[in-house]
């Protein structure tokens, strides 16, 4: 034991002598490199740890969010479900990926109730959201255009969505029906309605002024490409299982 203590003491003395022989500037550089390396690895671990796997579904009641949720989870439509007072939530591997012979990251999916009094629950999930799917009823779109545009406007001007640049997919559901509107028609109508909203709301100094975020460019008609976050439009049919475009969106932001 005494021999080991002596050896350690000898090593300590040699290290101290080596340090005293080094120029002060060189020591500062060495300490700085070690410190920066340590900070880099800490930040890298934190970024990996906080990478989100949450996808949030939002939209008006009756748009088909819950049907899409179950199609993605287990390939069934679960028709006849009723509006819940709480979000429909689960963590799972997408149904279409179950038979793949490789490790796949599960998705944490949240179906937020569409009733106006329950939409505040959306704010609870936005801080950890990797992507948001805004579901639109393509069949009964025009009667609900104003309400859908107002809800989408509130999402696109939400402080968290803007600061985190949360990607948004406008998903036109029920496109299997012959009388359903196309995604291009829905996109143009939503842009026109949001353009009216941003003008009227800015004029009376309401939501935009309060949260510091505005949509569009002054003097130009609003289009989704002007948003700071990426806004895309796609089609789906929850009842028939045509959900490939929303799966593609999910896997773009929640890696396998």
Binding residues for Mg(2+): 66
Residues contacting 83, CB < 8 A, separation 6+: 61, 113, 114, 115
Residue ranges of the binding site: 59-66, 114, 173-176
First to last CA, the chain: 54
Question: Quick count: other Cβ atoms within 10 Å of Cβ 160?
Answer: 15
Whose CA is closest to 64, among 121, 111, 126, 116? 111
Q: Are strands 88-92 and 107-111 parallel, antiparallel or unpaired?
A: antiparallel
Look up tokens 């009667």; give the residue. Answer: 143
| Annotated binding-site residue numbers for GTP | 59-66, 114, 173-176
Strand extents, DSSP E, the chain: 54-59, 88-92, 107-111, 129-137, 168-173, 231-235
- Judged on CB neighbours under 10 Å (0-12, 13-18, 19+), 250 is buried
The β-bridge relationship of strands 88-92 and 129-137 is: unpaired
């Amino acid at each position: 034991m005494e021999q080991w203590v002596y050896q350690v003491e000898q090593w300590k003395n040699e290290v101290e002598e080596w340090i005293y022989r080094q120029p002060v500037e060189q020591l500062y550089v060495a300490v700085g490199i070690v410190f920066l390396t340590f900070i880099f690895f800490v930040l890298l671990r934190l970024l990996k740890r906080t990478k989100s796997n949450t996808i949030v579904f939002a939209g008006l009641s009756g748009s088909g969010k819950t049907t899409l949720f179950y199609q993605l989870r287990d390939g069934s439509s679960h028709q006849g479900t009723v509006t819940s007072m709480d979000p429909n939530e689960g963590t799972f591997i997408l149904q279409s990926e179950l038979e793949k012979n490789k490790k796949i990251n599960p998705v944490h999916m949240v179906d937020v109730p569409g009733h106006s009094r329950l939409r505040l629950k959306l704010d609870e999930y936005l801080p950890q959201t990797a992507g948001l799917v805004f579901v639109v009823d393509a069949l009964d779109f025009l009667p609900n255009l104003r309400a859908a545009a107002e809800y989408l406007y509130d999402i696109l001007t939400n402080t968290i969505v803007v600061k985190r640049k949360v990607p948004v997919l406008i998903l036109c559901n029920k496109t299997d029906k012959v009388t359903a509107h196309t995604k291009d028609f829905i996109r143009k109508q939503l842009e026109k309605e949001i353009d009216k909203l941003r003008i009227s709301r800015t004029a009376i100094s309401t939501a935009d002024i309060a949260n510091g975020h505005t949509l569009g460019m002054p003097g130009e008609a609003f289009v989704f490409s002007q948003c700071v976050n990426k806004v895309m439009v796609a089609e789906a049919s929850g009842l028939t299982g045509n959900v490939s475009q929303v799966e593609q969106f999910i896997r773009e932001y929640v890696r396998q």
